[in-house]
Every structure is written in structure tokens, then in C-alpha cells.
Structure 1
Amino acid sequence: MLKKILILFIPLYISLSQNLIVLNKSDNTAMIFDLKKDKLLVQIPTGEGPHEVAISPNKKFAAITNYGTRENPGNSVTVLNLEKLTLEKTINLGDFRRPHGIEWIDNEKLIITVEANKSIIIVDVKNGEIIGAVRTDQEISHMLVLSLDKTKCFVANIGSGSISAIDLKGMNLIKNIQTGRGSEGIDITPDGNEIWVTNRAEDSIAVVDVKTLEMKTKFKVDGFPIRVKFSKDGKYAIISCARSGEIAVIDAKNKETIKRIKTAEKVDVEKTGRLFGSVFGDSPVPIGISIDDKNLIYVANSNADIVSVIDIKNGKVIKTIKTGKEPDGIGIW
């Protein structure tokens, strides 16, 4: 009887506890940590070059884009079962290559950028089928975010310095909006009114009005801003700055920098085979960001092989979590 109780209890416990998933791009693995017990639960192989991860709304699955390498473009999505902590399936995307940005539209459908095709695709997870595609016709369509009602998608295009607004009902491109050189990171404010885009090549943040699809303002954030995430309460925008090795904490209302926080000490690790390698010297190269309900910030440092946990209030790293080689995509549930 005791064994049966334990078997039933474990999935419930996993779903209720605070967990972290981290993708290791150079190791082709996903690590899942129990943050309450401060322990690694499992390490699961993915496809080649896993870059981004999204947690399903019901917290049952994680979907991972396998981007591939410079020599070998990827074309698959790994789906993990978060209750069983196992590989659920691998979805082959056929001729759609270099999948990167990913979000769940609902518990059954994914939306994914595919850079090589200058497009986004909709994937039915249960059947493993592509059920729709829309071209951005922009260079390096990289990250994406959904409108709050899930009727629109906004895609950051690094090579074109723009974002693409896409109507998911009519499955058509609405507009391409110029935002700045190297538009890469993207997020939407919790109230759904603004889209923020990090322009890494010009050290700026562009703010786009969701209703008018016009750029409202642009302001400077130095240090190669590469990702942006909003706190749940909408008070802060957190920008990871890969070159300077910091996160910038921005007042989301006033668009002013409150503080900048180093994510790690200077690092000296083997940089061969990493995306940014020695480009940024001894910077830990913070990229992926996730923020929990208590406004603790989790930052993946791709050139330090750690996740830094940062308290917004005191502006300090309160702990670090050892990962595999070149962590990037990250998620909490």
C-alpha cells in the first residue's frame, strides 16, 4: 500500500514545487532542478543545440527548440513530460529549420520561429504536425511573444532590425516595424499595452505600442542588451547585457535604469565551441532570464556555466546553480 501511495504522490509533488529548467546548448541537454530542495532532479538529452524552452500553461510539458549548430541546422522540437521527468516525444519539423523562439498558444499548440525559413509555424503537439505557417520575410526571425489574448504574435528579427506583427486568426503578416539594429530579445508588458525589444547592436531598447503598432520611444541600455523579461507585477523590466556581464533593472513606467547588477565574477572557462566564445572577453555572458512570483531573477550565464539567482530588492546574487556547458534557455514553474 505504501508503494502505491508514493507512486501517486510524486507527480503531484513535482507539479506543486518550484522547479527550474535550464538548457545547455553545447551539451545538448536539459537540466531540471528542484529549487526548494536545491537539487538536480534529472538531466535529459535533447536534440542538437537546444536554445529556448517554454512551459505549457498546465505545467505538464516543456517544449524545447533544437536550433542545431553553425554547420548543421536543426529541425526538431523536444517535448519533456514535467510530471514524469521524462522525454515525451521529439517532433520533426521537416523542411523548417533553425527553430528558436517558442511559446505555447494553449496546452496543445506551439508557435515557433524558424530562422532559415523567415517564418513562424504553428505545431500541434499531440499529433506532431505543423498546422500553419506565416512568413516574416525578415532576416533572422529569432524570438517571439504573444499578445495577452493569443490572437497576435510579435517576432524580433535580428538581421532586419525589426519586429513582425502577425495575425494568428487570419494567419497573415500585419506589419514589419523597424525597431533598431540587432533586434533580438522581446517581451510584452503584463497589461498587454507595450512590446519591448532589445537592440543588441546599438545598445538600445525600443518600445512599441500594441494598439497602433508604432514605436513609442527608444532609450539606451549599454552592454549588448540581449533579452528582456518583465516582473509579474509589471514594475520592472530586466535586461540581460551580454558584453558587460550585468542585468539592468528598468523602471517599466518611467523607462529609467534603477540599477545594474553583475551576474557573476570574471570567468575563465574553455570558450571553444560556444556561440559568443571570446567575443566578450571575461564576461559571464548573461542571456536567458526567468523571474519567479517573488521577483527573484534567474539568469543563465553562457560563458560561466551557472545560473545566477538575484534578489531585485537588495541587488545581489544570493546563490548560483551549476549547469552544463553554455546554458541559455531557462524556465520556471
Structure 2
Amino acid sequence: MIFRLPSYTIQTNGKLYIVSKLSRDVQVFDLFTGEEIAEIPIDMLSSEAINTKDKNSIVLTNYESKDGNIVKIINTRTNKIEKTIELKGTIKSNGIVAFPEINKVGVLDYVNNNLLVLNIENDSIEKQIQTKQKTSHLLALHPSKSIAYVTNMKSNSVSVIDLTKNEVVKIIPCGLTTESIDITPDGSEIWVTNKNENSISIINTSTYKVIDILPTGNEPLKLKFSVDGKYCLVANARDGSISVYEQNSKKQIKTITIRGKNKLLERILYHTPRPVNILMHPNGLFAFVSNSNAHEIEVIEMKTLTIVSTIGTGKVPDALVFIE
């Protein structure tokens, strides 16, 4: 059989934590040396992970029908599982964000459709806020206000939650199967993907109105703004491509096609690509894209908007976390 080994050819600072769903582990990759420095078994199917504000911990949710109420915490100094938290009840967790307090995270329960405020220091749920919609999936926080925005897949909507009042203040209708979400660095707009409509809804955070709808490739999953907010990258899973949009003009300026989609030899050498997640390097120079079918990370240089390197992973990489 002919195959291609992933090739890492750049040098930049920091460590990349790569969560591979089917391998049920987290690979710690040194972005300067190009070497794996740790492999952490997590023994669960996780597709969402975040780092706490102090960068000392990575918190992972468990997206499974069984044990979906398990949250695990990795100590980034020892690269070992530090704690396992079992949330009581019929909770099934997925989306997660870090709150400004280093001991608190927001977790979405997609069965009961609650936003949970979880204290990871004493393992307690401090708040449960109803989203008032169905299959609440992912969320983002406003950079300067106590507001959370939650995508709801079955309700095709975004819930706006005031974290001071602990209640939904607005429901915003979007497109079919509202999936992923990100917010501009200045907090002026949220962009959400509508997975089964192949579109992005753009929402003004002052008026809570959809101000534009942009077409995407097939099955847009995650999207992410560049560090400076100039661009938004969208992972089109079924197309094996990344769409690049300018935030100001709302125009698509490029499609980055991952090798393996077009020709038989490419499919043999590179595997049919399926991009599912995007993480921006804080230095603004690179974006990392989880290519789940090929078991690798594609590295995009943001200056040229081209793929310049790859990182080999476990089976079905998804969530990505950066630690300095």
C-alpha cells in the first residue's frame, strides 16, 4: 500500500494539545521542535476542550450516550489527568467555554438544554440556565460583557443568555442545524454555521438581528476568526476545504482545498479529507485544522492562506488547545 507520512516543517512557539476521538487520547505536540512530548489517555470520546485562563488546566467534555456526564481535567504542567468530575443526573455535555474566573467553565447540556456554570475546584454546578431551545450545542462569550451565545441545532437558532440575570434575553432564528459559533474580537458580530443549509448567519450583537447570510461549502462545521478579526475561516467537512471570508466586506476571498479530494492517487496518498475543527495560534501567524479522516492536522499560514505543514495524530482528531 502507498501512503504518505505527515510532515511538519515549521517552527513556532507553544504546545498543541490534540484530542483524537477514536484513539481516546490527547497528544501533546511541541510546535517548535516538531516532536510529540506526551500522549495522555483520556478513555472517553471527547470533541470539545478548552484551557482555563491561567493555562494550568485543560478541561474536556465527554460526547457519548454513555457517561456523557463526565468532565476530565488535564494538568498542563504534568500532562496527566488531574481530576475526573462526574456531573449528577441525566446531563450530557458537549460545548464548553472558559470563564474569566480560573476555577469556572461553562458547559452545555444538550439533552436538558441547560448552560451549566461548573466550578472545577469544588466540582459543583453553581448555575443551570435554560437555553429554551432544543439540542444546545456550542457557545461563545462576549469579550467584554457578561453574555453567552448558544447554538441550538434542532431549533435552528441562537440563544442569547445574560449571565448576570441568569436568563435568556433573546432567541435569534438562524438556518438549518445551527452548529458552530465564533465572535469577532471586538464583540460586534457573531457568525454561526448552519450545517444542513451550507450557510453562515451573521448577527449584530447590538441589535440581535441577522444582518447577512453567506453561502459556504458542503457541511460547514467549525468556524474561527483570525486573531486580528480580519478573516473568518470555515471548515467545510464534506468538501474537504476551508472557506476564507473577510469580516468587513463579508466576501469569500479564497477556498483552501485539502489534498486528497480530487484525484484517485491523491485519495490513496492523502486520504479523503474531512476538516472538522479550527484553532488560531495566538501569534496570528498560523491556523491549525483537524483533518479527521486523514488523522492529521493541517497547518495554514495566515499570511499566504495556504497549507504549509502537517502534524500526524491519533485516530479522528477533533478538539485543539494551545498552551504557551
Q: TM-score, normalised by structure 1?
A: 0.87
List structure 1 runs of 4+ shifted beyond 3 angstroms. 266-269
- 1:321 deviation in Å? 0.7
Query: Is residue 66 from structure 1 mapped to residue 62 from structure 2 by the alignment?
Result: yes
2:235 alignment partner in structure 1: 240
- How many angstroms apart in 1 are the aligned matches of 2:267 and 2:42? 27
- 1:39 deviation in Å? 1.0
* Match 1:91 to one of 82, 85, 92: 85
RMSD over aligned CA atoms reads 1.7
Structure 1 unaligned segments of length 5 or more: list them: 1-15, 270-281
* Cα deviation 1:135-175 (Å, max 9, x = unaligned): 11322211100011251100111111101111111111112
2:320 alignment partner in structure 1: 330
2:138 alignment partner in structure 1: 143
* Match 1:105 to one of 99, 103, 113: 99
Count of residue pairs brought into register by the alignment:
304
1:200 alignment partner in structure 2: 195
Query: Is residue 190 from structure 1 mapped to residue 173 from structure 2 by the alignment?
Result: no
- Indicate conservation of the 8 Å contact 1:47/1:77, yes or no: no
* Match 2:40 to one of 28, 44, 47: 44
Which of structures 1 and 2 has the larger relative contact order (alpha carbons within 8 angstroms, sep 6+)? 2
**Secondary structure of the structure 2 residue equivalent to 1:116:** coil
* Cα deviation 1:215-247 (Å, max 9, x = unaligned): 111111122111111111110001111010011
**Secondary structure of the structure 2 residue equivalent to 1:265:** coil
* Cα deviation 1:112-136 (Å, max 9, x = unaligned): 1111111110100110111111111
- Indicate conservation of the 8 Å contact 1:204/1:221, yes or no: yes
- Indicate conservation of the 8 Å contact 1:96/1:114, yes or no: no
**Secondary structure of the structure 1 residue equivalent to 2:293:** coil
2:73 alignment partner in structure 1: 79
- Indicate conservation of the 8 Å contact 2:299/2:307, yes or no: yes
2:7 alignment partner in structure 1: none
- 1:268 deviation in Å? 6.0
2:157 alignment partner in structure 1: 162
**Secondary structure of the structure 1 residue equivalent to 2:111:** helix
Per the alignment, do residues 47 and 155 of structure 1 end up closer, same or farther by CA in structure 2, a change over 3 Å counting? farther
- Indicate conservation of the 8 Å contact 2:228/2:284, yes or no: no
- How many angstroms apart in 2 are the aligned matches of 1:94 and 1:77? 11
Amino acid at match of 1:82: T
- How many angstroms apart in 1 are the aligned matches of 2:13 and 2:81? 20
1:289 alignment partner in structure 2: 278
* Cα deviation 1:279-317 (Å, max 9, x = unaligned): xxx742101100112331100011111110011333322
* Match 1:32 to one of 24, 28, 35: 28
Q: TM-score, normalised by structure 2?
A: 0.90
- 1:73 deviation in Å? 5.1
Per the alignment, do residues 33 and 248 of structure 1 end up closer, same or farther by CA in structure 2, a change over 3 Å counting? same
**Secondary structure of the structure 2 residue equivalent to 1:117:** coil
Amino acid at match of 2:232: A
Amino acid at match of 1:170: K
- Indicate conservation of the 8 Å contact 2:226/2:284, yes or no: no
Structure 2 unaligned segments of length 5 or more: list them: 1-11
